[in-house]
Amino acid sequence: MAKLGSTHKKVHISPNFDKGTAIRTHDPIMEELEPPTVIMAALSALSPLHLSDLSHSIFSDIHHRRRRLTFILSSPTLFSLTLRHLNSLSLSHKSLLIARFLLSALRRLCHPFQPPAKSLPQHPSTAAITPRDLDAAVLLLLLCEVRQHNPAALETPLPKWRAALCRIYSDSILSISGIISGGGAVMVPYVETVARCWKFVGFVGSCGGKGKREVAASPVAVVELPSVAAAAAVECVICKEEMGEGRDACQLPCEHLFHWLCILPWLRKRNTCPCCRFQLPTDDVFAEIQRLWEILLKLGSTITTSDGD
Protein backbone atom coordinates (compact mmCIF):
# COMPACT_ATOMS: atom_id res chain seq x y z
CA MET A 1 0.00 0.00 0.00
CA ALA A 2 1.26 3.47 -0.82
CA LYS A 3 1.99 5.36 2.38
CA LEU A 4 0.97 8.93 3.08
CA GLY A 5 3.83 11.36 2.93
CA SER A 6 6.00 9.00 0.87
CA THR A 7 7.82 10.02 -2.29
CA HIS A 8 4.96 8.56 -4.28
CA LYS A 9 4.52 9.66 -7.84
CA LYS A 10 1.85 12.35 -7.87
CA VAL A 11 -1.10 11.93 -10.18
CA HIS A 12 -2.28 14.97 -12.12
CA ILE A 13 -5.87 15.78 -11.20
CA SER A 14 -7.54 17.39 -14.18
CA PRO A 15 -9.90 20.34 -13.59
CA ASN A 16 -12.49 18.10 -15.23
CA PHE A 17 -11.69 15.13 -12.99
CA ASP A 18 -15.36 14.40 -12.44
CA LYS A 19 -15.84 13.46 -16.09
CA GLY A 20 -14.54 9.92 -16.24
CA THR A 21 -15.00 8.67 -12.72
CA ALA A 22 -18.15 6.61 -13.15
CA ILE A 23 -17.38 2.88 -13.17
CA ARG A 24 -19.74 0.83 -15.22
CA THR A 25 -18.06 -2.54 -14.72
CA HIS A 26 -16.45 -4.22 -11.74
CA ASP A 27 -12.66 -3.98 -11.89
CA PRO A 28 -11.04 -7.29 -10.88
CA ILE A 29 -8.23 -5.36 -9.18
CA MET A 30 -10.70 -3.51 -6.99
CA GLU A 31 -12.43 -6.75 -6.09
CA GLU A 32 -9.14 -8.39 -5.01
CA LEU A 33 -7.79 -5.53 -2.88
CA GLU A 34 -9.17 -4.51 0.49
CA PRO A 35 -11.12 -1.19 0.29
CA PRO A 36 -8.93 0.58 2.91
CA THR A 37 -5.82 -0.24 0.86
CA VAL A 38 -7.32 1.14 -2.34
CA ILE A 39 -8.68 4.28 -0.66
CA MET A 40 -5.36 5.01 1.05
CA ALA A 41 -3.67 4.59 -2.32
CA ALA A 42 -6.06 7.18 -3.79
CA LEU A 43 -5.32 9.62 -0.95
CA SER A 44 -1.58 9.17 -1.46
CA ALA A 45 -1.97 11.02 -4.77
CA LEU A 46 -2.94 14.23 -2.98
CA SER A 47 -0.50 17.10 -2.65
CA PRO A 48 0.88 17.82 0.84
CA LEU A 49 -1.41 20.88 1.10
CA HIS A 50 -4.56 18.94 0.19
CA LEU A 51 -3.52 16.08 2.45
CA SER A 52 -2.98 18.45 5.35
CA ASP A 53 -6.38 20.08 4.81
CA LEU A 54 -8.07 16.70 4.60
CA SER A 55 -6.35 15.49 7.78
CA HIS A 56 -7.53 18.60 9.61
CA SER A 57 -11.08 18.12 8.34
CA ILE A 58 -11.10 14.46 9.35
CA PHE A 59 -9.68 15.25 12.78
CA SER A 60 -12.46 17.82 13.34
CA ASP A 61 -15.07 15.25 12.33
CA ILE A 62 -13.57 12.61 14.63
CA HIS A 63 -13.41 15.11 17.48
CA HIS A 64 -17.10 15.99 17.02
CA ARG A 65 -18.15 12.32 17.02
CA ARG A 66 -16.00 11.56 20.06
CA ARG A 67 -17.63 14.42 21.96
CA ARG A 68 -21.07 13.05 21.15
CA LEU A 69 -20.03 9.55 22.21
CA THR A 70 -18.47 10.90 25.40
CA PHE A 71 -21.74 12.63 26.30
CA ILE A 72 -23.68 9.40 25.69
CA LEU A 73 -21.36 7.20 27.76
CA SER A 74 -21.07 9.76 30.57
CA SER A 75 -24.81 10.01 31.12
CA PRO A 76 -26.76 6.91 32.22
CA THR A 77 -29.99 8.59 31.13
CA LEU A 78 -28.73 9.59 27.68
CA PHE A 79 -27.14 6.17 27.17
CA SER A 80 -30.39 4.43 28.09
CA LEU A 81 -32.47 6.68 25.80
CA THR A 82 -30.05 6.30 22.87
CA LEU A 83 -29.87 2.51 23.26
CA ARG A 84 -33.66 2.32 23.48
CA HIS A 85 -33.99 4.42 20.32
CA LEU A 86 -31.46 2.20 18.56
CA ASN A 87 -33.30 -0.97 19.59
CA SER A 88 -36.57 0.46 18.27
CA LEU A 89 -35.17 0.86 14.75
CA SER A 90 -35.54 -1.80 12.11
CA LEU A 91 -32.48 -3.12 10.31
CA SER A 92 -33.29 -0.95 7.28
CA HIS A 93 -33.47 2.16 9.47
CA LYS A 94 -30.17 1.26 11.12
CA SER A 95 -28.71 0.90 7.64
CA LEU A 96 -30.00 4.35 6.72
CA LEU A 97 -28.33 5.84 9.81
CA ILE A 98 -24.99 4.32 8.86
CA ALA A 99 -25.56 5.29 5.22
CA ARG A 100 -25.96 8.95 6.12
CA PHE A 101 -22.80 8.82 8.19
CA LEU A 102 -21.00 7.04 5.34
CA LEU A 103 -22.19 9.56 2.75
CA SER A 104 -20.87 12.42 4.88
CA ALA A 105 -17.48 10.71 5.21
CA LEU A 106 -17.24 9.92 1.49
CA ARG A 107 -18.00 13.53 0.60
CA ARG A 108 -15.18 14.56 2.91
CA LEU A 109 -12.73 12.08 1.33
CA CYS A 110 -13.72 12.97 -2.25
CA HIS A 111 -13.70 16.73 -1.72
CA PRO A 112 -9.96 17.26 -2.42
CA PHE A 113 -10.38 15.61 -5.83
CA GLN A 114 -13.20 17.92 -6.89
CA PRO A 115 -12.46 21.18 -8.74
CA PRO A 116 -13.39 24.18 -6.53
CA ALA A 117 -16.08 25.32 -8.95
CA LYS A 118 -17.66 21.85 -9.02
CA SER A 119 -18.12 21.08 -5.34
CA LEU A 120 -20.73 18.43 -4.72
CA PRO A 121 -24.13 19.72 -3.60
CA GLN A 122 -24.98 18.84 -0.04
CA HIS A 123 -27.39 15.96 0.31
CA PRO A 124 -30.50 17.21 2.17
CA SER A 125 -30.88 14.05 4.23
CA THR A 126 -27.26 14.34 5.40
CA ALA A 127 -27.63 17.97 6.40
CA ALA A 128 -30.92 17.22 8.18
CA ILE A 129 -29.70 14.34 10.37
CA THR A 130 -30.94 14.99 13.90
CA PRO A 131 -28.74 14.91 17.04
CA ARG A 132 -30.78 11.93 18.21
CA ASP A 133 -30.00 9.99 15.04
CA LEU A 134 -26.36 11.05 15.17
CA ASP A 135 -26.11 9.74 18.73
CA ALA A 136 -27.69 6.47 17.63
CA ALA A 137 -25.24 6.18 14.71
CA VAL A 138 -22.08 6.74 16.78
CA LEU A 139 -23.28 4.32 19.47
CA LEU A 140 -24.12 1.71 16.83
CA LEU A 141 -20.64 2.07 15.31
CA LEU A 142 -19.07 1.59 18.75
CA LEU A 143 -21.20 -1.49 19.42
CA CYS A 144 -20.23 -2.97 16.06
CA GLU A 145 -16.54 -2.38 16.75
CA VAL A 146 -16.78 -3.90 20.23
CA ARG A 147 -18.69 -6.88 18.85
CA GLN A 148 -15.88 -7.48 16.37
CA HIS A 149 -12.87 -7.02 18.67
CA ASN A 150 -14.18 -7.68 22.18
CA PRO A 151 -17.45 -9.63 22.00
CA ALA A 152 -17.18 -10.78 25.62
CA ALA A 153 -17.85 -7.20 26.76
CA LEU A 154 -21.37 -7.41 25.34
CA GLU A 155 -22.11 -10.74 26.99
CA THR A 156 -22.49 -8.97 30.33
CA PRO A 157 -25.98 -8.00 31.55
CA LEU A 158 -27.43 -5.01 29.70
CA PRO A 159 -27.27 -2.67 32.75
CA LYS A 160 -23.48 -3.18 32.81
CA TRP A 161 -22.97 -2.34 29.13
CA ARG A 162 -22.32 1.35 29.74
CA ALA A 163 -19.51 0.69 32.23
CA ALA A 164 -17.91 -1.88 29.91
CA LEU A 165 -18.16 0.45 26.91
CA CYS A 166 -16.69 3.32 28.95
CA ARG A 167 -13.60 1.26 29.76
CA ILE A 168 -13.12 0.19 26.14
CA TYR A 169 -13.68 3.71 24.84
CA SER A 170 -11.24 5.20 27.37
CA ASP A 171 -8.58 2.68 26.34
CA SER A 172 -9.03 3.66 22.69
CA ILE A 173 -8.72 7.36 23.51
CA LEU A 174 -5.50 6.72 25.43
CA SER A 175 -4.00 4.66 22.62
CA ILE A 176 -1.39 6.19 20.34
CA SER A 177 -3.84 6.39 17.42
CA GLY A 178 -6.33 8.13 19.67
CA ILE A 179 -3.89 10.81 20.84
CA ILE A 180 -1.83 11.64 17.78
CA SER A 181 -3.65 13.99 15.43
CA GLY A 182 -1.43 13.98 12.40
CA GLY A 183 -1.13 12.13 9.09
CA GLY A 184 -1.90 8.44 8.94
CA ALA A 185 -2.70 8.26 12.67
CA VAL A 186 -5.96 10.05 11.81
CA MET A 187 -6.41 8.87 8.25
CA VAL A 188 -6.05 5.10 8.66
CA PRO A 189 -8.65 4.58 11.44
CA TYR A 190 -11.04 6.92 9.61
CA VAL A 191 -10.72 5.01 6.34
CA GLU A 192 -11.14 1.70 8.20
CA THR A 193 -14.35 3.05 9.79
CA VAL A 194 -15.60 4.10 6.35
CA ALA A 195 -14.88 0.60 5.02
CA ARG A 196 -16.78 -1.00 7.93
CA CYS A 197 -19.75 1.28 7.25
CA TRP A 198 -19.65 0.30 3.59
CA LYS A 199 -19.70 -3.39 4.49
CA PHE A 200 -22.61 -2.85 6.89
CA VAL A 201 -24.67 -0.97 4.31
CA GLY A 202 -23.76 -3.48 1.62
CA PHE A 203 -24.69 -6.39 3.90
CA VAL A 204 -28.20 -5.02 4.23
CA GLY A 205 -28.32 -4.95 0.45
CA SER A 206 -28.54 -1.22 -0.19
CA CYS A 207 -25.12 -0.79 -1.83
CA GLY A 208 -22.44 -2.79 -3.49
CA GLY A 209 -24.59 -4.96 -5.73
CA LYS A 210 -23.56 -5.55 -9.30
CA GLY A 211 -26.96 -4.49 -10.60
CA LYS A 212 -27.45 -0.75 -10.97
CA ARG A 213 -30.88 0.73 -10.39
CA GLU A 214 -31.87 3.93 -12.14
CA VAL A 215 -32.12 7.05 -10.00
CA ALA A 216 -32.91 10.65 -10.91
CA ALA A 217 -30.16 13.25 -11.06
CA SER A 218 -30.11 15.77 -8.23
CA PRO A 219 -32.12 18.90 -9.14
CA VAL A 220 -29.25 20.96 -7.72
CA ALA A 221 -26.82 19.33 -10.15
CA VAL A 222 -29.25 19.76 -13.07
CA VAL A 223 -29.77 23.47 -12.36
CA GLU A 224 -26.00 23.99 -12.43
CA LEU A 225 -25.62 22.48 -15.92
CA PRO A 226 -24.40 25.11 -18.42
CA SER A 227 -26.09 26.17 -21.63
CA VAL A 228 -23.69 26.39 -24.58
CA ALA A 229 -23.96 27.17 -28.26
CA ALA A 230 -23.98 23.98 -30.29
CA ALA A 231 -21.51 23.53 -33.14
CA ALA A 232 -22.61 22.51 -36.62
CA ALA A 233 -23.67 18.90 -37.28
CA VAL A 234 -23.91 17.88 -33.62
CA GLU A 235 -26.54 15.21 -33.04
CA CYS A 236 -28.64 14.84 -29.91
CA VAL A 237 -28.47 11.10 -29.27
CA ILE A 238 -31.81 11.12 -27.45
CA CYS A 239 -33.98 12.37 -30.32
CA LYS A 240 -31.44 11.54 -33.08
CA GLU A 241 -31.82 15.01 -34.59
CA GLU A 242 -29.08 17.52 -35.28
CA MET A 243 -28.84 20.63 -33.15
CA GLY A 244 -28.74 23.79 -35.19
CA GLU A 245 -25.47 25.68 -35.19
CA GLY A 246 -25.46 28.27 -32.40
CA ARG A 247 -28.56 26.82 -30.78
CA ASP A 248 -28.56 26.63 -26.98
CA ALA A 249 -27.77 23.12 -25.83
CA CYS A 250 -27.27 21.48 -22.43
CA GLN A 251 -23.69 20.41 -21.74
CA LEU A 252 -23.07 17.66 -19.20
CA PRO A 253 -19.75 17.58 -17.27
CA CYS A 254 -18.56 14.91 -19.71
CA GLU A 255 -19.00 17.58 -22.44
CA HIS A 256 -21.73 15.74 -24.36
CA LEU A 257 -24.45 18.03 -25.71
CA PHE A 258 -28.22 17.50 -25.80
CA HIS A 259 -31.40 19.42 -26.49
CA TRP A 260 -32.66 20.87 -23.22
CA LEU A 261 -36.14 19.49 -23.95
CA CYS A 262 -34.60 16.03 -24.40
CA ILE A 263 -32.14 15.85 -21.53
CA LEU A 264 -34.36 17.27 -18.77
CA PRO A 265 -36.95 14.43 -18.91
CA TRP A 266 -34.05 11.98 -19.14
CA LEU A 267 -32.38 13.32 -15.98
CA ARG A 268 -35.67 13.21 -14.09
CA LYS A 269 -35.48 9.41 -14.41
CA ARG A 270 -31.75 8.63 -14.45
CA ASN A 271 -28.51 10.37 -13.47
CA THR A 272 -26.34 9.02 -16.28
CA CYS A 273 -25.19 10.53 -19.55
CA PRO A 274 -26.98 8.85 -22.51
CA CYS A 275 -23.64 8.66 -24.35
CA CYS A 276 -20.94 7.63 -21.89
CA ARG A 277 -22.87 6.69 -18.70
CA PHE A 278 -21.09 9.39 -16.68
CA GLN A 279 -22.97 9.79 -13.39
CA LEU A 280 -24.30 13.09 -12.08
CA PRO A 281 -24.87 13.52 -8.34
CA THR A 282 -28.19 12.20 -7.08
CA ASP A 283 -30.43 12.84 -4.07
CA ASP A 284 -30.74 9.10 -3.47
CA VAL A 285 -28.56 8.36 -0.41
CA PHE A 286 -27.46 4.86 -1.40
CA ALA A 287 -26.90 5.64 -5.08
CA GLU A 288 -24.78 8.67 -4.14
CA ILE A 289 -22.74 6.50 -1.79
CA GLN A 290 -22.16 4.07 -4.64
CA ARG A 291 -21.10 6.90 -6.98
CA LEU A 292 -18.60 8.42 -4.54
CA TRP A 293 -17.28 5.02 -3.45
CA GLU A 294 -16.51 4.13 -7.05
CA ILE A 295 -14.69 7.44 -7.57
CA LEU A 296 -12.30 6.60 -4.73
CA LEU A 297 -11.83 2.99 -5.80
CA LYS A 298 -11.23 4.01 -9.42
CA LEU A 299 -8.47 6.39 -8.33
CA GLY A 300 -6.98 3.92 -5.88
CA SER A 301 -6.97 1.01 -8.29
CA THR A 302 -5.31 3.15 -10.97
CA ILE A 303 -2.51 4.15 -8.60
CA THR A 304 -2.15 0.62 -7.23
CA THR A 305 -1.89 -0.74 -10.78
CA SER A 306 0.74 1.85 -11.74
CA ASP A 307 2.75 0.92 -8.62
CA GLY A 308 2.80 -2.69 -9.75
CA ASP A 309 4.11 -1.87 -13.22
Quote the pLDDT of residue 1: 36
Percent with pLDDT over 70 in the chain: 75
Tell me: the pLDDT tens digits for 84-135? 999 999 888 888 888 988 898 998 998 888 765 444 445 444 445 788 888 9
- Asked if pLDDT for residue 28 goes beyond 70, the answer is no
The pLDDT of 295-303, averaged and rounded, is 79
Please tell me whether residues 157 and 223 are part of one structural domain.
no
Q: Which helix (H) or strand (E) holds 248?
A: strand 248-251
- Asked if pLDDT for residue 191 goes beyond 80, the answer is yes
- Asked if pLDDT for residue 211 goes beyond 70, the answer is no
- Asked if pLDDT for residue 17 goes beyond 70, the answer is no
Confidence of residue 71 (pLDDT cuts 50, 70, 90): very high
Quote the pLDDT of residue 23: 33
Quote the pLDDT of residue 183: 52
Please tell me whether residues 288 and 150 are part of one structural domain.
yes
Quote the pLDDT of residue 9: 35
Please tell me whether residues 123 and 180 are part of one structural domain.
yes
Please tell me whether residues 255 and 290 are part of one structural domain.
no
Separation between Cα atoms, residue 187 and residue 117, nearest integer Å: 26
Q: Which helix (H) or strand (E) holds 227?
A: strand 227-229
Separation between Cα atoms, residue 50 and residue 180, nearest integer Å: 19
Separation between Cα atoms, residue 127 and residue 107, nearest integer Å: 12
Count up the domains in the chain and report the number: 2
Please tell me whether residues 69 and 99 are part of one structural domain.
yes
**Domain limits for position 180:** 35-207+283-300
Please report how the helices 131-149 and 76-88 are oriented relative to each other, as an axis angle in degrees rounded to 10: 90
Quote the pLDDT of residue 243: 84
Q: Enter the pTM of the model.
A: 0.76
Q: Is residue 16 part of a domain?
A: no
Tell me: the pLDDT tens digits for 51-70? 889 989 998 888 888 899 99
Q: Is residue 278 part of a domain?
A: no
Percent with pLDDT over 90 in the chain: 27
- CA–centroid distance for 158 within its chain: 33
Please tell me whether residues 187 and 40 are part of one structural domain.
yes
Please tell me whether residues 154 and 226 are part of one structural domain.
no
Which residues are 229's β-sheet partners?
A: 248
Q: Is residue 250 part of a domain?
A: yes
Separation between Cα atoms, residue 64 and residue 86, nearest integer Å: 20
Tell me: the pLDDT tens digits for 178-190? 444 455 567 888 8
Confidence of residue 139 (pLDDT cuts 50, 70, 90): very high
Please tell me whether residues 225 and 292 are part of one structural domain.
no
- Asked if pLDDT for residue 177 goes beyond 60, the answer is no
Which CATH number is 259's domain given? Answer: 3.30.40.10
Please tell me whether residues 40 and 132 are part of one structural domain.
yes
- Asked if pLDDT for residue 202 goes beyond 70, the answer is yes
Tell me: the pLDDT tens digits for 262-296? 999 999 999 999 999 999 999 999 999 989 988 88
